[in-house]
Amino acid sequence: MVTIDTSRLVLRRWRESDVPAMAAVNADPEVMRWIRDGRVLSPEETRLWVERIERNWEAEGFGLFAVEWRASGELVGFTGLAVPTFLPEVLPAVEIGWRLGRPFWGRGIATEAATAALRFGFEGRGLERIISIAQVGNSASERVMAKLGLPPGRETTAPGNGRVVRVHELTRAEYLSRRQG
């Protein structure tokens, strides 16, 4: 079991007890505004999604971490790595992503969590390239991507919903040179 500690957070595998808190995040229209087609998820859809995440961990050796606020043990949301099957034109690829409950926005938490997940991908799993995908207009996520050192690349249209997305990309060599410099 992979667990990563940061100054304020614990990134860990999912527990059944996380589902209600993550379901509340996934039910917030403002949180989901930039996710796929913007539709909120039901508690049952969230439960199935968490089960899928755990299966992906077993199959891939990486996945989306539950992000816990260290001081209280409260679930903040998620960050981590996944294969972006919703955008076949970028495959093969591994995407870094995050989703936080609104009370945790604007506090540097996404950057802190995603920095740890990026390190895990490049240093812990030896990935050669990590991308991140944001819908055009989602400036908050693109600011996090910039802080992570993922420069913007091409724009394309997501086939499942017709929304325009921007693909950001960082190679292992770029990551390691940045870490050394």
pLDDT tens profile 94-104: 999 999 999 99
DSSP letters, 57-93, are HHHHS--EEEEEETTT--EEEEEEEE--TTSGGG-S-
Total-model pTM? 0.96
Report the distance separating Cα 90 and Cα 95, nearest Å. 10
- Strand spans (E) along the chain: 4-5, 9-12, 64-69, 75-82, 95-100, 129-135, 152-157, 164-171
| Long-range contacts at 46-50 (CB < 8 A, ≥ 24 apart) | 46/19, 46/22, 47/19, 47/23, 50/14, 50/18, 50/19, 50/22
Convert the pLDDT of each residue in 47-96 to its tens digit.
999 999 999 999 999 999 999 999 999 999 999 999 999 999 999 999 99
- 117-150: string of b/e by CB count within 10 Å (b at 16+)? bbebbbeeeebebbbbbbbeebeebbebbeebeb
Q: Using the predicted structure, report yes or no on whether residue 114 has a pLDDT greater than 70.
A: yes
Q: What is the per-residue pLDDT for 180?
A: 80
Which residues does 175 contact at the CB level (< 8 Å), separation at least 6? 118, 122, 130, 149
The per-residue pLDDT for range 141-167, each reduced to its tens digit, is 999 999 999 999 999 999 999 999 999
